[in-house]
Amino acid sequence: MTNSAGPLYEMNFVVSDDILAEVDQWLGEIVVAARRRDGIADARVFETHNATEGNVGRTCQFQVDTDNALLELLDGYFSDIDAEATVKYGDQITLDNRTLHAEEPLTLPANESPVCLNCGAHLRGQYCGLCGQRSRSRLISIWELLREAFGDLLELDSRLWQTLVPLLVRPGQLTRDYLEGRRARYMPPFRTYLVLSVMFFVVAFFDPTEDLSLLFEPEPAPTAEEIANIEESKAKAAALQESNNAAAREELEKLTARGVLPDDVPDVDDSFSINLGPDSEDSEFFGDCENASISDEEDLPEWFRTRFTDERVKQICLDNKARGRENFTDAILDNIPVALIVLLPIMALVLKLLYPLSRRYFVEHLLFFVHFHAFFFLILMLQVLFAQITGMLGPEDGAIDSISTLILVVTSFYIPVYLYKAMRRVYGQGHLVTMFKYSILSVTYLAGALITVLGALLVALLSA
């Protein structure tokens, strides 16, 4: 065959063994005649091995000069060959045709590779069609590195912004689009959830004066007079507390002697407890660890009593007492993201039970709550940012404070409304049925959130 840039027209025949010799002679005559025809540069016939048992494959290829010549041949010469094969041999021969075009050489800049440097696939553009990596091979500049790092955040047409807008104002739209196959325009669901959760915790709990204290000038040490005033205030507070306690004990003794006790006197409980709100800075975060124990042990299951003996409870108390109140609170906050992730499959299971006839897989219900939690983090982050901005603009302005409070209340009420509208859009049921299922889902969601938060508290308590 000649090395022409024109298209290659191919006719594939499946021939019965009974007529093979006759067909070979016929195809040879076609090749000879085609080479003398205008518009055809060359022709050939050869055996192929894609036929079934009792049949033989033959392929006849025609190298055509141009696309226009191919169009003329398709309407005339090639159609005549197809019709002649049907008239001559009938069911003993089958034919299919196809047109092949030579691959045009790829023109790339000098600093780009003709093959993908990541997977080795041949490149036909700026990006690899197999793995998606760009063809550029040279090292990028600092500006391009920063633009690549923050591109989704700074570019208005990026997938991040195309995801945040419907996530915030169109309840359930992201979930519905994803389930219906419209996915490329949006950021992947779990990536959206992780990005927004990280952004929320950074905005809500990151304190630059504490976490970046080395960059700020330290506060001056208190003077001797200030220290004396602080100590005097602590002594007065302790004396007042002791006086109040003594008066309360004296009153309680009088009532006990008369055989009368008020209803609001709490029962004395020597069980191990955690005090998260001490009255003064000198008060201990945990009580007397020497007397720490679990009350009513006989009512607890055996597996709990074997794991939480008095010695182990005492050690837990000592560890957390040494850790301090701030570190204990930080440990709880560190476990909250994990607790919320644990809550996702639990609530997806509740949705699976509420919609047994929806024919949706468990992962589809999970996707619904991934998007809802992403929205939840987004709305909370916006509330925190708004509160911080209004606090800086007018910390003592009553009008600004009232408007800020009103907006925070309205956005808080938007969260349950959002969940209801998302259920309507994704599952497509009527208002009454959706309201009934929404009520069940809300109750189970609050119960699940409480359980997971208590689990985070327990993990923080036991992981000192």
| Residue that has been written with the tokens 């016939």 in this structure | 45
Which helix (H) or strand (E) segment holds residue 243: the answer is helix 224-258
The more confident residue out of 103 and 351 is 351
Alpha carbon distances (Å) from 27 to 23, 46, 82, 195, 307: 6, 10, 12, 66, 88
The CA dihedral of 373, 375, 380, 386, to the nearest 10 degrees, is 170
pLDDT at 51: 61
Of residues 134 and 300, more confidently modeled: 134
Does the pLDDT of residue 308 top 90, yes or no? no
pLDDT tens for 32-63 read: 999 988 889 889 998 886 666 778 888 898 99
Question: What is residue 371's predicted lDDT score, i.e. its pLDDT?
Answer: 94
8-state DSSP, 181 = T
How high does pLDDT run on average in the chain? 77
Claim: this prediction has a pTM higher than 0.85: no
Percent above pLDDT 70 for the chain: 67
Task: Give the DSSP H/E element, type plus range, for residue 454.
Answer: helix 431-462
Taking only the tens place, the pLDDT of each residue in 399-453 is 777 888 888 899 899 999 999 999 999 998 999 999 999 999 999 999 998 988 8
**Rounded distance between C-alpha atoms, residue 345 and residue 363, angstroms:** 9
> Is residue 265's pLDDT more than 60?
no
12 has a pLDDT exceeding 60: yes
- pLDDT over 90 percentage in the chain: 18
Question: Which tens digits make up the pLDDT trace of 324-355?
Answer: 655 656 666 667 778 888 899 999 999 999 99
Domain architecture of the chain: domains with CATH: 8-100 (3.30.70.100)
Both structure tokens of 144 = 């391009």
Task: Kindly tell me the burial class for residue 382, based on how many C-beta atoms sit within 10 Å of its own C-beta (0-12, 13-18, 19 or more).
Answer: middle
